[in-house]
Chain A
Amino acid sequence: MLITRMRHAGVALCLLALAPAVLSAQQGTLTMGIRQDATVPVPYVGPATAGNALVTDQLFLRLTGLGTSGSTVGDDVMVPELARRWFRQDSLTVDFEIDPRARWHDGTPVTARDVVFGWESLRKPVLGVTQAPFALIRSVEALDQRTVRFRFHRRSSEQVYVAGFLVQPLPAHLLAAIPADSLTTSEYARAPIGNGPYRFVRREPGQFVELRADSSFFLGKPGIARLIFRLVPTSDAQVNLILSGELDVMTDAPASALPQLSRSTTHRILHSPGSFITYLLFNSRSPADTGTPHPILSDARVREALTLALDRNRIASTSFGPGAETPRSLRSQAWYWLGGGKDAGRADRDRAMRLLREAGWRDTDGDGILDRNGKQLALTVIYPVQSPLFAGIGVQVEQMWRAIGVAVQLEPIDGPVWLQQRRAGRFDVDIAGAEQDPSPSSLSQSWSCASAAEAGSSNVGRWCDPECDRLRDAAPASADPVVGFRVALERMAEWAPMVPIAPTNRVVVHRRYDNVTVRTSRAWTALWRWQIRPGAALPRDR
């Protein structure tokens, strides 16, 4: 009896001695705040919210990833992920060879069939995936277990990007039997099996999602064992959690929290080029009748005057904080690989007022508002009421335009109603923002003549410049696509249909992490390479 007890004690002591060694092999936690719940972290099946995309990127890889510059142009700018190599067979065909080590989390190898299945799934209307970016692809077929052949409709230097980055494989062996319209509510959607560096562990709806590192991940062992994505819907609450030490990482910290956060001894602030862009959109058509041009804004001089009247630098720094820039065209910081100029961003009121006078606007009745032929220079600015960011921009725009004699009516509108109203074209100026796709070709969805003609399209300002369309469509197949896109964007800037501001992505990270990289597009795909500095581990990292 005593001997057994002693033996048990001995075993326990040995285990205790070994324990630190055992624990440190699977060490580290990272808690990150997300603002929308990651309800279904599966490509194409789940909603396209930032929170969902973030978690999806840890669970699912793509055939190829974006390089450090973020460029989408060229066969060799992309970086291998699931695909080990790719070969161009001719100007319209590219073959991808899947890495033999790539596996789904249930052990099954990732095959070409999975890529084909992913392609077929995203085409299903009931999943609601925007089809325009995929227009380049003609067909996807599996040549053998590990080789996929993509055929395209026309030449383009973005073929590898569209095929390798936009088309994600889904596990055919698990999903083929499920009808497409039940995918979002299926058992698989609640506990997805992916092929990425992290496995899905559990989700507490309305609270958090937990992921655990796949130590047999074929591209390398993830540095941090546990990832927790905590749902904290407001940035103020996230800031509080950072300051109390309960959150390790926060993305998109607002400018107003900067003073508090910079004083923190436990966290540091990183600025990474954001892919978000905000802009003031001028309506080219009359709100009352979309068939006729806008009575005030169709005059390019008025648009330029309105732009010059704004101190864009001030708006950028007040609403977005340091690091926000004022590009000349609709270019987020993620598109800086295109080159192109920055706008000085300063107001030039004198020139603005001169332009308005030239366009025939004078203050004839002395009420401080310019008028012409008995009609006042009055504009309605709409924006979604749920966004304090846009509200702040609106306030400043109103102040600055009033100073040159333009009467501004600010109209915050309930989100879903704003969506309808802007689609119907019932506005003068719209404050909008967009998460830009990695490729400038995506501009054709909201800025082309084709979309202007379509009723209910996202080209709500109905802007149409055939020359710009031509430049942009020709760019991918041209000799120097980067220059081609840049020229197209600059041409767009000459219309001045909008006033863009490109904010930075302000990320707050706990100081104990090393090897911290935040990408420009798909910012968090390098998260698995982060590590905890030896000796800096916290008790909760065990």
Chain B
Amino acid sequence: MKFTARIGVTLSILLAAVAMVGPWLVGDPTVASGSDFLASPSGSHLLGTDPFGRDVLARTVHGARVSLIVALVSTVVALMVGVALGVLAGGHHNPVARALSHFINFALAVPRVILLLVLVAATGRLGPWALALMLGLTGWPTIARLARGEALRLEHSGFVTASEALGASLPRRLLREILPGALPAGLVAATLGIADALLLEAGLSYLGIGIRPPHPSWGGMILEAQPYLAQAPWLLFGPAVALVMATVAATLLGEALRARLNPVQR
């Protein structure tokens, strides 16, 4: 395996381990520890404490679980729905495909943030799984459009036309040639989408439909760190580094996957 792919896999495994096992190893992320308020990193608090006395390391680790679930689930949902619909819509001269195309364009026409606001406001408080589903169900149109574009391109390309000439049926064409061709572009978009989802979660916390306090999430922690950036930069350290690690892991993993799926290109 290539070096970068190895890094991607290692990081992903590390993050998954932290998310699953970590919370038992660190302290309580919501309790004020004695009298250490806004304390800089030290022996007892490896990443310092926040203005309310909570241990930053503990919060980062607990936040890993929630932030990763939301980011992963929403991306997977968006990817599955988006690629499926996009590839189907790229099939040519088919009334179903045309209708799907219009539907994708229509879905793209509605601004995502406002849709999210209404959906969540109308349904009330959401847990991480429901929030992830909601994010995924509003994020698929972008991926669908991309996948449709790729499917159209592939559809007119040499080997698909050849396969059509050989008598392959539409579903077979879609599955064997177009889907694998469209998938890489979708995957790259999806891996970048994980970072997007994480950052979107931060924005949603700002609008009131993110993870409820006092349970920590990386997005929420970054937002809370903003006013204290000058006097307590360590507040940003934990969640920011974690966020970067998660994005890097997702991207490298995505690249490794794409290399696997496309044997022509190393």
**CB–CB under 8 A between A and B in the complex?**
yes
From A256, A386, A398, contact of B228 by CB (8 A)? A256
**Binding stretch for chain B, among A53-61, A140-148, A410-418, A466-474:** A410-418
Cα separation A313 to B241 with both chains bound (whole Å) = 34
In the bound complex, do residue B213 and residue A410 qualify as a contact, i.e. CB atoms below 8 Å apart? yes
CB distance from B71 to the nearest CB of A (A): 21
CB-defined contacts of A388 to chain B, threshold 8 Å: 223-224, 227
From B53, B213, B223, B230, contact of A412 by CB (8 A)? B213
A-B interface pairs (CB < 8 A), number: 55
In the bound complex, do residue A399 and residue B52 qualify as a contact, i.e. CB atoms below 8 Å apart? yes
Cα separation A257 to B228 with both chains bound (whole Å) = 7
B123 within 8 A of A: no
- Interface residues as binary, B213-226 with A (CB distance below 8 Å gives 1, 0 otherwise): 11000000001101
B51 within 8 A of A: yes
In the bound complex, do residue B37 and residue A417 qualify as a contact, i.e. CB atoms below 8 Å apart? no
- Interface residues as binary, B116-149 with A (CB distance below 8 Å gives 1, 0 otherwise): 0000010001000000000000000000000000
B114 within 8 A of A: no
In the bound complex, do residue A410 and residue B214 qualify as a contact, i.e. CB atoms below 8 Å apart? yes
Q: Which of A254, A256, A392: most chain B CB closer than 10 A?
A: A256
CB-defined contacts of B37 to chain A, threshold 8 Å: 318
From A257, A259, A396, A410, contact of B52 by CB (8 A)? A396
CB distance from B37 to the nearest CB of A (A): 7
Q: Given the known A-B contacts A396-B52, A399-B32, are A256 and B227 also in contact in the complex, defined by CB atoms under 8 Å?
A: yes
A494 within 8 A of B: no
In the bound complex, do residue A410 and residue B212 qualify as a contact, i.e. CB atoms below 8 Å apart? yes
CB-defined contacts of B44 to chain A, threshold 8 Å: none
In the bound complex, do residue B231 and residue A398 qualify as a contact, i.e. CB atoms below 8 Å apart? no
Cα separation A423 to B242 with both chains bound (whole Å) = 41
B31 within 8 A of A: yes
CB distance from A414 to the nearest CB of B (A): 5
In the bound complex, do residue B214 and residue A417 qualify as a contact, i.e. CB atoms below 8 Å apart? no
- Interface residues as binary, B97-122 with A (CB distance below 8 Å gives 1, 0 otherwise): 00000000000000000000000010
- Interface residues as binary, B27-56 with A (CB distance below 8 Å gives 1, 0 otherwise): 000111000010000000000000111000
Q: Given the known A-B contacts A398-B30, A399-B52, A417-B121, are A412 and B226 also in contact in the complex, defined by CB atoms under 8 Å?
A: no
CB distance from B126 to the nearest CB of A (A): 13
Cα separation A398 to B52 with both chains bound (whole Å) = 11
From A259, A318, A394, contact of B213 by CB (8 A)? A394
CB-defined contacts of B233 to chain A, threshold 8 Å: none
B208 within 8 A of A: yes
From A254, A395, A398, A414, contact of B227 by CB (8 A)? A254
In the bound complex, do residue B52 and residue A413 qualify as a contact, i.e. CB atoms below 8 Å apart? no
Cα separation A438 to B224 with both chains bound (whole Å) = 34
Q: Given the known A-B contacts A260-B231, A396-B52, A414-B121, are A386 and B208 also in contact in the complex, defined by CB atoms under 8 Å?
A: yes
Interface residues on B, range: 20 to 34
In the bound complex, do residue B226 and residue A395 qualify as a contact, i.e. CB atoms below 8 Å apart? no
- Interface residues as binary, A382-404 with B (CB distance below 8 Å gives 1, 0 otherwise): 00011010011011101100100
Closest-by-CB residue of B relative to A396 is: B52
Cα separation A257 to B53 with both chains bound (whole Å) = 18
Cα separation A155 to B207 with both chains bound (whole Å) = 49
Cα separation A386 to B205 with both chains bound (whole Å) = 10
In the bound complex, do residue A399 and residue B31 qualify as a contact, i.e. CB atoms below 8 Å apart? yes
In the bound complex, do residue B121 and residue A398 qualify as a contact, i.e. CB atoms below 8 Å apart? no
CB distance from B231 to the nearest CB of A (A): 5
CB-defined contacts of B224 to chain A, threshold 8 Å: 388
Cα separation A254 to B231 with both chains bound (whole Å) = 13
Cα separation A386 to B227 with both chains bound (whole Å) = 15
CB distance from A485 to the nearest CB of B (A): 36
Q: Given the known A-B contacts A318-B52, A388-B224, are A259 and B212 also in contact in the complex, defined by CB atoms under 8 Å?
A: no
CB-defined contacts of A413 to chain B, threshold 8 Å: 208
Closest-by-CB residue of A relative to B50 is: A395
Cα separation A115 to B228 with both chains bound (whole Å) = 48
CB-defined contacts of A402 to chain B, threshold 8 Å: 31
CB-defined contacts of A350 to chain B, threshold 8 Å: none
CB-defined contacts of B121 to chain A, threshold 8 Å: 414, 417
CB-defined contacts of A410 to chain B, threshold 8 Å: 212-214
Cα separation A402 to B224 with both chains bound (whole Å) = 22
Cα separation A411 to B124 with both chains bound (whole Å) = 11
Closest-by-CB residue of A relative to B230 is: A260
Q: Which of A260, A386, A392, A411: most chain B CB closer than 10 A?
A: A392
Closest-by-CB residue of B relative to A386 is: B208
CB-defined contacts of A395 to chain B, threshold 8 Å: 52, 213-214
From A257, A318, A394, contact of B51 by CB (8 A)? A318
CB-defined contacts of B209 to chain A, threshold 8 Å: 414
In the bound complex, do residue B51 and residue A392 qualify as a contact, i.e. CB atoms below 8 Å apart? yes
A358 within 8 A of B: no
In the bound complex, do residue A236 and residue B213 qualify as a contact, i.e. CB atoms below 8 Å apart? no
CB-defined contacts of B228 to chain A, threshold 8 Å: 256
Closest-by-CB residue of A relative to B213 is: A410
In the bound complex, do residue A399 and residue B212 qualify as a contact, i.e. CB atoms below 8 Å apart? no
Cα separation A399 to B37 with both chains bound (whole Å) = 13
CB-defined contacts of B207 to chain A, threshold 8 Å: 385, 414
CB-defined contacts of A412 to chain B, threshold 8 Å: 208, 212-213
CB distance from B70 to the nearest CB of A (A): 17
A476-509 residues at the B interface, CB under 8 angstroms = none
Cα separation A417 to B124 with both chains bound (whole Å) = 11
5 pairs from A and B in contact (CB 8 Å cutoff) = A256-B51, A388-B224, A411-B125, A414-B121, A417-B121
Further 7 A-B residue pairs, CB within 8 A, beyond A257-B230, A396-B52, A414-B208: A235-B227, A259-B230, A260-B230, A385-B207, A388-B224, A394-B213, A399-B31
Q: Which residues of A does B touch, CB under 8 Å?
A: 235-236, 254, 256-257, 259-260, 318, 385-386, 388, 391-392, 394-396, 398-399, 402, 410-414, 417
Q: Which residues of B does A touch, CB under 8 Å?
A: 30-32, 37, 51-53, 121, 125, 207-209, 212-214, 223-224, 226-228, 230-231
Q: A-B pairs with the 4 shortest C-beta distances?
A: A385-B208, A256-B227, A259-B231, A414-B208
